[in-house]
């Protein structure tokens, strides 16, 4: 586990972009996730305060990105609800299993809440994200626009009661098309 004094979580800076690409490439083993980060960064859904890096001893060792998505409410597609997507989250392989990913997720949830966001959706490891409060998105009335196992399609409400009255499909921006 990483000591908090040993780790800084902060918004990305322009000079971090090359290392963010490399961390995502190493963690995921390809170019899809680094390209996703670049595309989101150029989109209207990019929130600079929610593209976070983990810095240890002056070195960027992890990255997490939360961006805007929509939930199209069944029967009211003209009134979508805003939400956040958590994607991607990567830690340099040399620094994995040290609590850095957890620190990134926790800080991102705090900032998302502070910025007034109510719901976050993630397609991710079902053994990992529930420790932060993520539960089945389908059980909350949400559908994925692409085929994913129920146990990997997760959501969390940052504001209690945010899922009340929501039943609909999560809509990801076009930046996600090459990853799904």
What are the helix (H) ranges across 29-82? Answer: 32-41
- pLDDT of 165 > 90? The answer is no
Q: How many residues does the chain have?
A: 180
pLDDT of residue 83: 97
Helix, coil or strand: residue 157: strand
pTM: 0.94
For the chain, the maximum distance between any two Cα atoms, rounded to a whole number of angstroms, is 51
pLDDT of residue 2: 47
- pLDDT of 77 > 80? The answer is no
173 vs 180, more confident: 173
Enumerate the domain spans of the chain. Answer: 4-174
Do residues 123 and 137 touch, judged by C-beta distance below 8 A?
no
Which class is 4-174 in CATH? alpha beta
Do residues 171 and 131 touch, judged by C-beta distance below 8 A?
no
- Residue 120: partners with Cβ closer than 8 Å, 6 or more residues away: 66, 83, 84, 85, 86, 109, 112, 134, 155, 156, 158
pLDDT classification of 1: cutoffs 50, 70, 90: very low
pLDDT classification of 76: cutoffs 50, 70, 90: confident
């Amino acid at each position: 586990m990483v000591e908090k004094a040993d780790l800084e979580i902060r918004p990305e800076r322009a000079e971090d972009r090359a290392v963010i690409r490399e961390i995502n490439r190493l963690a995921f083993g390809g170019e899809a996730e680094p390209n996703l980060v670049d595309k989101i960064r150029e989109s209207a859904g990019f929130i600079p305060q929610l593209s976070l890096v983990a810095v240890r001893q002056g070195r960027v060792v992890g990255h997490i990105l939360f961006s805007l998505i929509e939930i199209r409410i069944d029967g009211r597609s003209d009134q979508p609800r805003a939400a956040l997507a958590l994607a991607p989250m990567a830690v340099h392989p040399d620094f994995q299993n040290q609590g850095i990913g957890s620190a990134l997720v926790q800080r991102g949830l705090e900032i998302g809440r502070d910025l007034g966001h109510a719901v976050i959706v993630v397609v991710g490891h079902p053994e990992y994200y529930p420790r932060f409060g993520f539960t089945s998105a389908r059980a909350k009335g949400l559908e994925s626009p692409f085929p994913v196992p129920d146990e990997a399609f997760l959501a969390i409400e940052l504001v209690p009661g945010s899922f009340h009255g929501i039943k609909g499909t999560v809509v990801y921006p076009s930046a996600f098309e090459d990853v799904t």
